[in-house]
Structure 1
Amino acid sequence: MDNVYYEDGDIIIGGILSNFLAEISKDDTFEQHPSPYLPNALLYPKSFQYLLAFLFTVQEINKDPTLLPNLTLGMHLSQDFLTVRTIYLKAINLNSGKKIVIPNYSCERRWLMSIIGGLRSDLSISIANLLGIYKIPQISYGSFDSALSDKSQFPFFYRTVPSELSQFIGVSHLLAHFGWKWVGLIAADDESGRNFLQIISQEMSKANSCIESITLLPVYSYLDPESVNRLATWFSKLSSNIMVVHGETDKLFLINVVVTEKQICGKVWITTTVWDFTSHYARKPWNLTTFNGALSFVVHKREIPGFQDFLSRVSPDQYQNDFYLDHFWSQVFKCSWPSYILDTSWHRCKGTEKLKNVSTDLFAMNTSSLSYSMFNAVYAIAHTLHEIYSLQSANNRNARMQHFDIQVWQLHSFLKTIRFNNSAGEEISFDENGDLRSGYDILNWAILPNNTPVTTYVGSIEPHVAMDYNIIINNKAIVWNSRYNQTPSSVCSESCHPGYRRKTVDGKLSCCFDCVRCTGGQISSQKDMDRCDKCPQDQYPNGQHNKCMPKVITFLSYKEPLGSILASTSCFLSLLTILILGIFIKHWDTPIVKANNRDLTFILLVSLLFCFICSLIFIGKPRKVTCLLQQVCFGIVFSVAVSSLLAKTITVILAFLARNPRNCMRKWIGKRLANSIVLLCSLIQVGICSVWLGTSPPFPDVDKTSKHGLIMLVCNEGSDFMFFIVLGYMGFLAITSFTVAFLARKLPDGFNETKFITFSMLIFCCVWLSFVPTYLSNKGKFMVAVEIFAILTSSSALLGFIFFPKCYIIVLRPERNKKVYLLSKSNSRLKRCQCES
């Protein structure tokens, strides 16, 4: 089969197309002149649309009276059979002319202005290496390898497709968009495949995604049982639901065979532009069922105006100039020509068959992406020639422009900056690397029950700024594999929900992890967080540990039950003390009031009244003044109360000793000693408090950490040491008073208070001894409530045991409140004491 097609014109554009796959024998060493005929070539029917797009575009340009007036484009087309071993011969053939192949010499008067091709990157690199010698512009319509963007190696190479680099980044963006973090990769074992794996690995690591496994397929995948079983075994070990495939169609057809024969289903396939899994050899159609729901990247395209009408009218009879359309026609319509018979059972080809009646899995009437690229490539040459001839016409208006007025190397300065709008309404231009300024469309493949593929546009990846791309996805338009009723998931470990953090497992990839609950004051507000964040001090974690909640500000308030109960109790006891004080004032001159120093009694009552009142200072929001007064007032008032009890006890002892006229203690009896004891003991406490206030006074403070979910407004003691010095001194007075009272409890007197003081101080000491550990074990308002309770309890004990017996006699037994009764009672006790002694 001759694989050359030629149409004459004023200007010749060459084309190296890839419509056939030929397996060249390993024994063919090209020691002899290679034959241009490869009869055992296998046809890619869908790829013939690229060739027809070339023919259509040249015809459209020749019909345009304004683009290249008075000039016609000719074409010289050849097949490369998708083999690098033949590509150099095809390039030399195009450069030499249509008849005799002589390197470095053209047998034609009309020079070749440009070559459009090849389809694969490795083929384009081979063509570029040869054409670079002659500085002939080359425009590829389907080579994506990023290496071709290097102008230092390929200065005369251009392409009407974007670089594959943007496509690889787009794949990683697609995976990140759907949260697919566990994928399998398949690539051809060539430079493009390895470049794909390197870039996709880097981009996936940025998104914390992982590659479960990689398989590299040999450049030439033979359908031997060992290769099929090896790939099938690899598939069976995969747990990921997402398969990303990169490679040329002819290199990866082994995949289709394996997934079909081994019934590997349930995978979501993501394919790059270079692999079209709907293309197949005419004699062996592929079963596409397993690819239902696949997503593929394709070069951005638009429908070419008039192209479908051209396809519907095309016929082999229109091209009699050694063209190989007969072979294509015979394959897709299952018919035979008199000179070309593939199957004797096929009917005779009429030439009137219509391509629109061919199954879409063999040939599609809609413009394909690469046909659109071919269309733009031919127009790019035409517009470049238009610019050149327009410039020459302006410089030499009288001269008739001929094709030999320009050399091929002159095209580059114009081709680099060419910018035009094609008939589809899209602006076409090249960037500084000779790549098309464009992005990629994302298609979703739905395979109908009759094995017919239907594609739907679902998104795109567009260049934004340097090395940055925007991805747009319409999730609702995607039809997934029938195994999934919603967007599929592919992860090694299920996502850690908010409130948990990821914990990596030794020996596994970062995508395989355990989920650990956030503890303490920490939260995680998003999925798959590597660590838990600590809440601010004024906030606390909620029950799910996924949100920080504002802490509740708390203090002992009058409005809450505890505060109101303590305040009411304090007020009640204060009123009760005032009542007792009133009773004592009313019965000022009675013997029971005069007994044991009347002045000390009133000092004690007043100090107890202030004890009850000072407890109110502890209730309410802590402020600077209240914090200063709380412990100071409490310490001083209680010291006055306890020292007055001590003075009362000492007075009783001295009074008993003074009964003996010879005893020297008589001179100590009197108010002066009692008042001195109260004054001295109180002044010591006042001095301690003064030192406290002068060095490290209490102040309002905020406790954000002691209680979960609470911000406690408290009074900071300033110096805990000074606070316990105050308590210690008060305890020293209480124990001293208790000891003295205990020793004097049986002394004779008309109304001996020492036994009541003993009981009251016993309770007082018990309350404050238990207060210390209870106080230290509580925080916030409960700590304050403990201190108020201790104040009220100890003060109530003093009030009850000392004054209730006297009030009982004053109010209910007034007959006992007489000097005669008290003296008789005192004499009887004295006699009892003498007998015991």
Structure 2
Amino acid sequence: MVPDELLWEEYFAVGEPPQQRPILVFLSSEPLGDRRCREGPQITSATLSIYDDPLPIAHEFYQPGDLVIGEMVSQVIYFSNIQFFREQPSQILIDEPVSVPKNYQHILALAFAVKEINENPKVLSNISLGFRVLNSYYTARMTYKAMLNLLSTQHRFAPNFKCHKWNNLIALIGGCISEISANMATISATHKIPQMVPNEAKQHIGIVRLLQHFRWTWIVLCAVNDDKGDQFLQTILPLLFEHGICNDFIVRLEKWNYLDEMIRLFIMRQESYAIAFETKANVFVVYGEPPSFLFLRVLSFVVPIMGWPPLGKVWVATSHWDFASVSIQKTWEIKMFHGTLSFTVHTSQPLGFQKFIQTIRPFWNKEDVFIQDVWEQTFTCSLKASNGQEVEAEQKEPCTLEEKLENLPGVLYEKHMTGHSYNVYKAVYAVAHALNSIYKSSSKNSRLARGERFAFLNVQPWQVHPFLKSLVFNISAGDMVHFDEHGELVAGFDVTNWITFPNGSLTRLKVGCLEPQVPAGKELTINDEQIVWHPSFNQALPLSVCNDNCNPGFSRKKKEGEKFCCYDCAPCPEGMISSQKDIDACVNCPEDQYPNMDQTHCVPRIVSFLSYKENLGIILVVLAISLSVITTLVLGIFLKHKDTPIVKANNRTLTYILLISLLLCFLCSLLFIGQPGRVICLLRQMAFGLVFSLAISTVLAKTVTVVVAFMATKPGSSIRKWVGKGLTNSIVLFCCFIQAAICALWLSTSPPFPDKDTHSVIGEIILECNEGSASMFYSVLGYMGSLATASFIVAFFSRKLPDSFNEAKFITFSMLVFCSVWLSFVPTYLSTKGKYMVAVEIFSILASSAGLLGCIFTPKCYVIVLRPELNSREQMIRKKE
């Protein structure tokens, strides 16, 4: 059974013969600084034992120093077939390693930063920094082996032993691939060595903000087919759905593989390519690292060969995206990726870096093992031939040694410092400033000046951590470096537009930036006009939606069984608008506005009420005043001829009351014209109800008087005692009292009030009197209708009584007109809107009042004015006989 403190790992050296046995490494938990080299292996839980020591890692760059910074790079690659565990693992490897020239800048950034610090007396005075760079070969097993080499003395594989007192590994710079950094952390964590790896998780919200900025809601997600890809999808998918963005489908990108196998895989996936070509999504969001991007590079290589149509899409990528090409890809076409948008680590150009690159030649540093592969494979030449060594006929031409890295195309090597290289540069300075803080702290607390430097050189890696977290400093490029409360480097991202050229070169164009520290919603700033899009979009803003946008005036309607980004467009309901594209729901206009014809925006409403200034109002006013004048004239006639028989007949007092009430009826119609106010709303319906009740009560009293008078003329009739003013007054008062009680109840419970009607007529705000209680309003009308019905019935049955001046037949006609008007009023009133409702009520008041006036008083006025000879007692008696 293996003790808990032991770490077991099996390591295979790349290119080692099949018969070589793996090594078994024991790592104890004892601190690194407490070990010294011993002769011969000893297998105990407290020591290290190695069987069959493997070949050392071939690619290394070492510069000695008092304190050493380690760096893991992915500069050299070996391609191998996929192992399926169904047969003996294949040992077929490419004879020579394949170099990634672009990654060589990461090494130069480290060397340049160390050179600057060592030449600067203000930082780490009398202390020199060194570095040791090893290659990971893009594999976990070689990363572990390289880590153990970093923990060993150079040229001697003895992890966890300090064989040279000045060979102190103080910090590690993680690889530009997260998997490599994670593998490094499994070992560095046991030794508490600080590992400088930037946190790039905040790019996820940057992707969402970018998609929102361009209104791209229908996308394709491409993620590397490993745990990191799974983690990315688990993080990004909820964010996308939360912000209204859907994915059509997900593509999993393969990692490094044998090239022939990758090309064969693409050819087999021709149908999948057709789906990617036909999708409505014009935006492909890619998450992956340089190894997985080779899969897309193979796609750009295979498409023209197979005669497939070009894939004109917008590629949106995380900061890991890079058009880094291995040497065998330098002639491959990359125009498919023209116009790509990616988040790149914010970078500046340190002073002197370009000049430093110009000094790089194949033999610039004998410890740099990487440069030979970079130079030979990039410039397609042989350094051995350049040195005069004999080479075979099929070998490359000799290198002239005049080749320059800055003349290479961007896919192989970028002239300016990239974001990953800038992170390496900042990491070296962060370690240097932390060490400087430690040195100053130890100097203050130490009394032995001579022993200060010796004591400082024994500083342990774990002592660097607290000083790193509290660092704030500026570097020569002009940027400030500091860490947040979680100990993570605070850094923003640039939005980069990648522009490719037919000769295989490319350039970066900064078109925006992402600042994760700013308030939510304002993290992204971008300049649309600077962006160069793929030629398939003709420099127009690409659309990436499931279906066409819903124009203003329409809202989105979900399609059953499909993602929420796919929808139909439904016109806005009446009275609602949508002023923008792709609105989820239409909205109502403010009360003082209404939708235009297209329902795209609101326009101001017109204030409407029955005014004295408009034609309809003028006509009704003239009509009401004219009828009032006529009524006044009739009253004057009756007052002037008050002693004539026709005026005295049927109770002269009731006649006066009826004429006055009709006059008031005509005048009360004027209360319905003009802008309604609180007092007007209270008065007009009450006045209308009471005055009309008075008029109809008077008509009823006159009718009852005719009947009672006729019955009283019969011999021995007991009704004679009811004849007189007492009966008529009682009828009028009683009937008016009931209507007054109804009005009082109406006022005390739910009185009328001024109101605005914004729904009845489109485009108008109708100023009206809200009746308060519709039931009370119709109760007033209903009561008047019952009085009119009673008058009509009594008058109808007494119309043939023998009386020369019998008013019953005239009252019958007047009540017939009155009831006809108000029966037609109710449906007409309910079917009209706005000020025309008020006009209908005014017309009904005037028509019914005019009916009473005309039917009852026209015959009498005719006799009084035009036939005065008939207005005599003799004539009345003669006609009666």
TM-score bracket for the superposition, by shorter chain length: 0.7 to 0.9
* Structure 2 residue 152 is matched with structure 1 residue 116: no
**Structure 1 stretches of 5 or more lacking a match?**
30-34, 138-155, 828-837
Q: Shift of the alpha carbon at 1:53?
A: 2.0
CA distance in 2, matches of 1:689, 1:129: 97
> Equivalent residue of 1:277, what SS?
coil
Question: 1:403-802 counterparts in 2 under 5 A?
Answer: 404-464=457-517, 470-484=523-537, 485-524=539-578, 527-533=581-587, 541-545=595-599, 554-623=608-677, 625-649=679-703, 663-664=715-716, 668=720, 673=723, 675-697=725-747, 698-702=751-755, 704=757, 707-709=760-762, 712-715=766-769, 717=771, 723-778=777-832, 781-802=835-856
Matched, 1:315 2:361: yes
Distance (Å, rounded) in 2 between the aligned partners of 1:201 and 1:451: 34
Please say if residues 41 and 81 of structure 1, whose CA atoms lie closer than 8 Å, have aligned partners that are also in contact. no
* SS of structure 1 residue aligned to 2:202: helix
**How far apart, in 2, do the equivalents of 1:736 and 1:468 lie?**
76
2:594 and 2:392 map into 1 onto residues whose CA distance is 80
Give the deviation of 1:556 after TM superposition.
3.7
- Residues 1:158 and 2:196 aligned together: yes
Tell me the equivalent position of 1:277. 323
State how 1:95-106 maps to structure 2 within 5 Å. 95-106=151-162
Equivalents in 2 of 1:774, 1:558: separation in Å? 22
2:125 is aligned with 1:125: no
Distance in 2 (alpha carbons) for counterparts of 1:302 and 1:603: 102
Distance 1:217 1:772, change over 3 A: closer
| TM superposition shift of 1:49 | 1.5
Q: Does 1:42 align with 2:93?
A: no
Superposition deviation, residue 777 in structure 1: 4.3
Q: Match of 1:419, as an amino acid? A: V
**1:19-78 C-alpha deviation (Å, 9 max, x unpaired):** 11112577999xxxxx9x985211111111122222222222222233233343333332
Report the CA distance between 1:821 and its aligned residue: 4.4
Bigger Cα displacement from structure 2, 126-135 vs 211-220: 126-135
1 CA distance for matches of 2:520 and 2:603?
41
More divergent stretch after superposition (493-502 vs 476-485): 493-502
Secondary structure at the aligned position of 1:77 is classed as strand
Q: How much identity, in percent, do the aligned residues show?
A: 42
Structure 2 contact 66–168 (Cα < 8 Å) conserved: no
**Which secondary structure does the structure 2 equivalent of 1:763 belong to?**
helix
Q: CA deviation at 1:456?
A: 0.7
C-alpha deviation, 1:467, in angstroms: 8.8
Q: Name the structure 2 match of 1:218.
A: 254
- State the partner residue of 2:225: 189
Query: Aligned-pair distance for 1:438?
Result: 0.7
Work out the CA distance in 1 between the residues paired with 2:786 and 2:122.
117
Counterpart residue type for residue 181 of structure 2: S
* Alignment-mate amino acid for residue 213 of structure 2: H
SS in 1 for 2:315: strand
Q: Is the 8 A contact 2:711 2:719 kept in 1?
A: no
- 17-26 vs 563-572, greater mean Cα deviation: 17-26
2:859: which partner in 1? 805
Match of 1:152 in 2: none
| C-alpha distance in 2 between matches for 1:723 and 1:27 | 92
Q: Indicate the SS of the match to 1:362.
A: coil
User: Does 2:407 match 1:354?
Assistant: no
Written as runs of structure 1 = structure 2, the 5 A alignment for 1:184-333 is 184-221=220-257, 222-230=261-269, 231-260=272-301, 261=303, 262-321=308-367, 323-333=369-379
The answer on whether the counterparts of 2:98 and 2:327 sit within 8 Å (CA) in structure 1 is: yes
Distance (Å, rounded) in 2 between the aligned partners of 1:22 and 1:102: 25
Shift of residue 824, structure 1, vs aligned partner: 3.9
Between 85-94 and 69-78, the greater mean CA deviation after superposition: 69-78
Which stretch shows the higher mean deviation, 4-13 or 712-721? 712-721
In structure 2, the residue corresponding to 1:296 is in which secondary structure? strand
CA distance 1:381–1:343, change in 2 (3 Å): farther
The code of the aligned residue for 1:89 comes to K
Which TM-score applies when normalising by structure 1?
0.86
- Per-residue Cα deviation, 1:153-180 (whole angstroms, up to 9, x for no partner): xxx3322x3x121112211221122111
Is this contact kept in 1: 2:222–2:286, CA < 8 A?
A: yes
| Counterpart-to-counterpart distance in 2, 1:354 and 1:638 | 110
Asked whether the 8 Å contact 2:552–2:580 carries over to 1, the reply is yes
The structure-2 alpha-carbon separation of the partners of 1:285 and 1:378, relative to structure 1 and needing over 3 Å to count, comes to: farther
How many Å apart are 1:329 and its aligned residue? Answer: 1.7
* Structure 2 counterpart of 1:142: none
Contact preservation (8 Å) 2:136, 2:146:
yes
1:178 aligns with 2:214: yes
Inter-partner Cα distance in structure 1 for 2:71 and 2:143: 12
- TM-score calculated relative to the size of structure 2: 0.82
Counterpart of 2:380 in structure 1: which amino acid? Answer: K
> For residues 848 and 415 of structure 2, what CA distance do their matches in structure 1 show?
102
Shift in Å, 1:419:
3.2
Matched residues in 2 for 1:390 and 1:626: separation?
91
Report how many residues are paired: 796
Distance 1:810 1:307, change over 3 A: same
Contact persistence 1:185–1:244 (CA under 8 A): yes
CA contact (8 A) 1:2 1:324 kept: no
Seen in structure 2, the aligned counterparts of structure 1 residues 526 and 317 have a Cα distance that, compared at 3 Å, is same
Aligned to 2:64: 8
Amino acid corresponding to residue 197 of structure 1 in structure 2: L
CA distance in 1, matches of 2:670, 2:286: 79
The answer for unaligned runs of 5 or more in structure 2 is 1-56, 86-90
Choose from 139, 143, 149 the match for 1:93.
149
- State the shift of 1:343 in Å: 8.4
Which digits, 9 at most, give the CA deviation of each residue in 1:200-257, with x for residues without a partner? 1121122111111112123334414234442524523532010011112122312122
SS at match of 1:297: strand
Q: Structure 1 residues 107, 692: CA separation in 2 closer, same or farther (over 3 Å shift)?
A: same
Q: Which moved more, 1:434-443 or 1:252-261?
A: 252-261
Contact map agreement 2:174 2:196 (CA 8 A) in 1: no
Alpha-carbon contact 2:761-2:833 (below 8 Å) kept:
no
For residues 580 and 386 of structure 1, what CA distance do their matches in structure 2 show?
117
Question: Alignment partner of 1:663: what SS?
Answer: coil
Q: In the alignment, which of 371, 377, 382 is matched to residue 432 of structure 2?
A: 382
| Counterpart secondary structure, 2:238 | helix
Following superposition, the deviation at residue 497 of structure 1 comes to: 4.2
1:365 aligned onto 2:401: no
Who is 2:139 aligned against? Answer: 83
- Partners of 2:494 and 2:513 within 8 A in 1: yes
Determine if contact 1:592/1:751 at 8 Å carries over to the other structure: yes
Task: State the secondary structure of the residue aligned to 1:185.
Answer: strand
Within 1, Cα distance between the matches of 2:785 and 2:373? 116
Helix, strand or coil for the counterpart of 2:201?
helix
**Higher mean C-alpha deviation, range 730-739 or range 542-551:** 542-551
Contact 2:216/2:245 (CA < 8 Å) preserved in 1?
A: yes
Moved more, 489-498 or 776-785: 776-785
Q: Deviations over 1:319-373 (max 9, x none)?
A: 2346331222222223222259698474321223222332333222211112212
The one-letter code of the counterpart of 2:148 is I
Q: Distance in 2 between matches of 1:779 and 1:676?
A: 46
Partner of 1:32: none
